[in-house]
Amino acid sequence: MSTAYALPKDLSRATVVNTASLIRIVALSLISGAAIASRLFAVINFESIIHEFDPWFNYRATRVLASKGFYEFWNWFDPTAWYPLGRVVGGTIYPGLMATSGVIYNVLHYFNLPVDIRNICVLLAPGFSALTAWATYMFTKELKDESAGLLAAAFIGIVPGYISRSVAGSYDNEAIAIFLLMFTFYLWIKALKAGSAFFGTCAAVFYFYMVAAWGGYAFITNMIPVHAMVLILMGRYSSRLYVAYSSWYAVGTLSSMQVPFVGFQPVRTSEHMAALGVFGLLQIIAFAQLVRSHVSSKQFNNLLFYGVIVLGVGGVGAVVGLTYAGWIAPWTGRFYSLWDTGYAKKYIPIIASVSEHQPTAWPSFFMDLQLLVFLFPAGVVLCFKELRDEHVFVIIYAIVASYFAGVMVRLMLTLTPCVCVASAIALSTLMDTYIDPVQPEADEDETAQSDAGDSVSGSSATGSISGAAPKKAKKLAAAAVAAPPSANPLAELVGAATGGPRMKKGVWGFDTRFTVLLHTFGMLAFFVMHCTYVTSSAYSSPSVVLASTSPDGSPHIIDDFREAYYWLRQNTKEDAVVMSWWDYGYQIAGMADRPTLVDNNTWNNTHIATVGKAMSSSEEVAYPILRAHDVDYVLVIFGGLLGYSGDDINKFLWMIRIAQGVWPEEVQEANYFTPGGEYRVDERASKIMKESLMYKMSYYRFTELYGANPAQDRVRQQTIPKPSPTLDYLDEAFTSENWIVRIYQVKKEDHLGRDIKSANAFEGGKKRKRGRPAVGRRRAMQ
């Protein structure tokens, strides 16, 4: 028995086991540290600030929770949002995130650690990413072994696909949801393996937490039933499956209905019907098993045949009937858009207008996953090799999540954990093969040395497959890979060194091993570099504060948003209503503390369309809308001076489309294009475009900046015609340093009852035409 390299011989089994577990603990802590540290780029490059849009609402809600307590939070009616409709916040949010921060806040304060609630919110996502790494470790351990688990933990810790939603300051539901997702899946696997009602119930408890934390819980709600269904179809029904599923479904569904926002949805909507159906099916199958143990096989077959037909027809009929009768809500539009990517653009522009609901571009897969993109299929294939119940789960997960990630950028997030797990299995199998010091026996068939070649195709330096005995080789390789997953590899290793089972094929020599491992190490090193680079450059921008570089290379911070929001906060009345496009609603509420018409909680399409109509119509049409909604200020984002492309003129078409959906007679998209069908803002822009409130507010006094030179819009690379548009019904109130945020004050009705246009003409010194007594209007005779 030869080994490729020398092994220490005098180690006791206990020493090896202890050392291995110590190394695991150290490695996991280091991985957690790395996961947290790499998410702190945002804090270091900018500051401890809440990012983007939704986190601002979550932060504001958390402050209410922390200051007023849970019951006040639950009953919180926010009169400043969706003015004047208001928002019943307690019943329309997933409170898991706020509750988590609230608990952490209260625990810290109980121990007299006066940590600011903002810092808890900012650092919650990095903290939970460490827990995600641990949950992924546990999950992967169930699939293969600890070393694969550590690799998976390391991958999920730093992979950009997950970091994109969990940098410090990205205080969103996804921050804790991915941990809950992975941990629920781990508990489900655990429950299924052992047939344990205890783990099933634990899975249900974490499922409840997930339901309370993220709307994406529907992914679990459908993944677990699909897994159970596939197992049944594979003929793998067992009492373990019955116990695990029933305990998960019953407890999980009942507890999920306690979340106010979810309510009766688990029994009323189509998205939840799969879980209910599989639950029913399992009961039927369990009953059938019971019957089978009591009647003869012939009778049973007949019974089964008719039973299946009756139940199948009855079940489908019941669901269709209930849907038709309105008891079960049909699929929602958001769901349809998952199957037909053009659906949302046609029927629900408000969903299509969100950039993260767009289909994923191919390069972003590489950007978010890098090395894992090509390790992932290998891992899935390895799952097929073993195909225990939990491997079936990973395979289904991989297929479903890959599809969804392709359909919607946002769902890249759910794919990432699965990719990490599968890649870790693949890479760990490769490393197991090449670190294993056991050499095959020299006198055996030489062609057999190509074992790892076909399972880890492409990455093996020695992979010369001769094909002389492929069947045999495969079988043996499978045997080699299929070591008991819970066994300790080091213990095996030591066992092998002291005379284990003889191998007939394997890897020869130290050099081949070294080459492959060096190459693997190189790939991993590149992966780390890529992750660090992408994290620091692409995913750590708060988007509230923008960074740019001066010509001399020094960094320059553009802080227009906060400048404008603080202006609103300090210079306007407390109940002054601010109208803006819905993207900025949460930020205005969070930073400026002013009522808004619409915000990122896009629950009322008509209200958003009203804002869209006001923005896209002329001043005369918009003014009554503004006055009816008590609007005091209108806020627009304009990037033309700086070249900030995410501005309102670029979003303008969506405003028009959404308004057109409600008022097709008054707002028509085609009117905003040039006759040639171009979307332009220069002198060729259509008349309606030039007269729209949005155009006027964006370019008001813009040409004055350039003096005699042509006024160049740097986003659209077009020249704005002179003279600048004039505003009659609005007054410019504030324009930020780089013109990104422009705020206009809505004029009150003229105090002499004139229309504002003629009042302005009078102020400007224009003479009015001589009037004549009104035609046909007869006054009372005295």
Partner 1 sequence: MRSFSLLTALVLGLSAFVRAKSSQGDDVLVILDPKLNRDDYSLFFGGLEKDGYSLTFRAPKDVKPKIIKDDVPSFSHVILFTPETKGYASDITPQSLIHLLSLSTNLLITSSPKQTLLTALSSEFSLIPAPPSSPLLSHFPARSDPPTLLPIPVPDPIDPKSEYADHPLAIPPICSPHTKAVWYEGTAWALGNNPLLFPILRAPKESFVSDASGDEGAEGVVDAAEKGGEGLWAGSSLAVAAGFQTREGARVVWVGGVEVFSDRLAAKEIAPGVPSGNTRFTRDIAAWAFQESLVLRISHISHHLASSPPLVGSNTTNLPTQYTTNDKLTYTAHISIYNPSSSTWTPHVSLPSPQMAFTMLDPHILTTLSHSPSHAGTYTTTFRAPDRHGVFKFVLDYRRKGWTWLKSEEKVAVVPPRHDGYPRFLSAAWPYYAGAVSTSVGFVLFVVVWLSGEGRETRKKAE
Distances (CA, A) of 189 to 193, 205, 274, 381, 775: 6, 15, 19, 19, 85
**Cβ contact 368:160 at 8 Å:** yes
Is 312 among the residues that bind partner 1 (CB under 8 A)? no
**Cβ contact 92:215 at 8 Å:** no
User: 593: phi > 0 → left, psi -120 to 50 → alpha, else beta; which?
Assistant: left
Q: Which is nearer to partner 1, 707 or 764 (CB)?
A: 764
**Would you give the binding string for partner 1 spanning residues 564-593, x where CB under 8 A is met?**
-----------x------------------
At residue 217, the 3 state secondary structure works out as helix
State the minimum distance, in angstroms, from the CB of residue 90 to partner 1: 8
State the minimum distance, in angstroms, from the CB of residue 376 to partner 1: 45
Radius of gyration, CA atoms only, the chain:
32
Residue 579, C-beta contacts closer than 8 angstroms, at least 6 positions apart: 596, 597, 611, 614, 626, 629, 631, 633, 634, 635
Q: Is 734 exposed, middle or buried (0-12, 13-18, 19+ CB in 10 A)?
A: middle
- Which 14-73 positions form the footprint of partner 1 (CB under 8 A)? 71
Is 86 among the residues that bind partner 1 (CB under 8 A)? yes
Q: Which is nearer to partner 1, 294 or 767 (CB)?
A: 767
Q: Which is nearer to partner 1, 8 or 771 (CB)?
A: 771
What is d(CA 671, CA 185) in angstroms, rounded to the nearest whole number?
51
The 3 state secondary structure assigned to 512-534 is: HHHHHHHHHHHHHHHHHHHHHHH
At residue 12, the 3 state secondary structure works out as coil
Binding span for partner 1 by CB under 8 A among 454-462, 562-570, 640-648, 746-754? 746-754
What is the residue type of 230?
V
Is 290 among the residues that bind partner 1 (CB under 8 A)? no
State the minimum distance, in angstroms, from the CB of residue 252 to partner 1: 18
Q: Which is nearer to partner 1, 326 or 776 (CB)?
A: 776
- Which 708-727 positions form the footprint of partner 1 (CB under 8 A)? none
**Among candidate residues 172, 171, 168, the one with its CA nearest the CA of residue 42:** 168
Q: How are the residues of the chain apportioned to helix, strand and coil, as percentages rounded to the nearest 5? A: 60, 5, 35
Is 5 among the residues that bind partner 1 (CB under 8 A)? no
**Would you give the binding string for partner 1 spanning residues 607-646, x where CB under 8 A is met?**
---------------------xx-----------------
State the minimum distance, in angstroms, from the CB of residue 67 to partner 1: 17
Using CB under 8 A as the binding criterion, the count of chain residues that bind partner 1 stands at 40
How is 328-364 classified by DSSP, letter by letter? SB---HHHHHHH-TTHHHHH-HHHHTSGGGSPPPHHH
Residue of 37, 85, 285, 461 that binds partner 1 (CB under 8 A): 85
Instruction: Work out the number of other CB atoms within 10 angstroms of the CB of residue 668.
Output: 14
| b/e burial code for range 647-659 (CB count within 10 A of at least 16 → b) | bbbebbbbbbbbb
Is 754 among the residues that bind partner 1 (CB under 8 A)? yes
Residue of 294, 573, 687, 770 that binds partner 1 (CB under 8 A): 770
Q: Which is nearer to partner 1, 569 or 754 (CB)?
A: 754
Is 88 among the residues that bind partner 1 (CB under 8 A)? yes
Binding span for partner 1 by CB under 8 A among 78-86, 166-174, 242-250, 402-410? 78-86
Q: Which is nearer to partner 1, 71 or 362 (CB)?
A: 71
Is 603 among the residues that bind partner 1 (CB under 8 A)? no
Binding span for partner 1 by CB under 8 A among 305-313, 462-470, 517-525, 760-768? 760-768
Is 551 among the residues that bind partner 1 (CB under 8 A)? no
Is 781 among the residues that bind partner 1 (CB under 8 A)? yes
Binding span for partner 1 by CB under 8 A among 148-156, 193-201, 416-424, 768-776? 768-776
Is 774 among the residues that bind partner 1 (CB under 8 A)? yes
Residue 708, C-beta contacts closer than 8 angstroms, at least 6 positions apart: none
Q: Which is nearer to partner 1, 90 or 506 (CB)?
A: 90
Q: Which is nearer to partner 1, 50 or 614 (CB)?
A: 614
Is 731 among the residues that bind partner 1 (CB under 8 A)? no
What is d(CA 4, CA 373) in angstroms, rounded to the nearest whole number?
32
Residue of 77, 324, 366, 526 that binds partner 1 (CB under 8 A): 77
* Residue in the block written with tokens 């969070």: 590
The token duo for 536 is 């620091």
What is the residue type of 309?
I
State the minimum distance, in angstroms, from the CB of residue 764 to partner 1: 9
Is 765 among the residues that bind partner 1 (CB under 8 A)? yes
At residue 6, the 3 state secondary structure works out as coil
State the minimum distance, in angstroms, from the CB of residue 86 to partner 1: 5
Is 327 among the residues that bind partner 1 (CB under 8 A)? no
**Would you give the binding string for partner 1 spanning residues 234-273, x where CB under 8 A is met?**
--------------------------x-------------
State the minimum distance, in angstroms, from the CB of residue 606 to partner 1: 11
User: What are the phi and psi torsion angles at 267 (to 5°)?
Assistant: -115, 0
The token duo for 474 is 């495969």
Strand 577-579 to strand 631-637: parallel, antiparallel, or no bridges (unpaired)? parallel
Q: Which is nearer to partner 1, 70 or 508 (CB)?
A: 70
- Which one-letter DSSP state was computed for residue 215? G
Q: Which is nearer to partner 1, 294 or 768 (CB)?
A: 768
What is d(CA 154, CA 149) in angstroms, rounded to the nearest whole number?
9
Q: Which is nearer to partner 1, 82 or 188 (CB)?
A: 82
State the minimum distance, in angstroms, from the CB of residue 143 to partner 1: 37
Strand partners, 633: 578, 745
The token duo for 695 is 């155009």
Q: Which is nearer to partner 1, 75 or 332 (CB)?
A: 75
Q: Which is nearer to partner 1, 249 or 654 (CB)?
A: 249
Residue of 18, 26, 74, 310 that binds partner 1 (CB under 8 A): 74
**Cβ contact 531:163 at 8 Å:** yes
User: What are the phi and psi torsion angles at 335 (to 5°)?
Assistant: -70, -45
**Among candidate residues 572, 557, 708, 551, the one with its CA nearest the CA of residue 633:** 572
Q: Which is nearer to partner 1, 75 or 726 (CB)?
A: 75
Give residues in contact with partner 1 (CB under 8 A).
Answer: 71, 74-75, 77, 79, 83-86, 88, 90-91, 260, 575, 628-629, 749-754, 762-763, 765, 767-768, 770-782
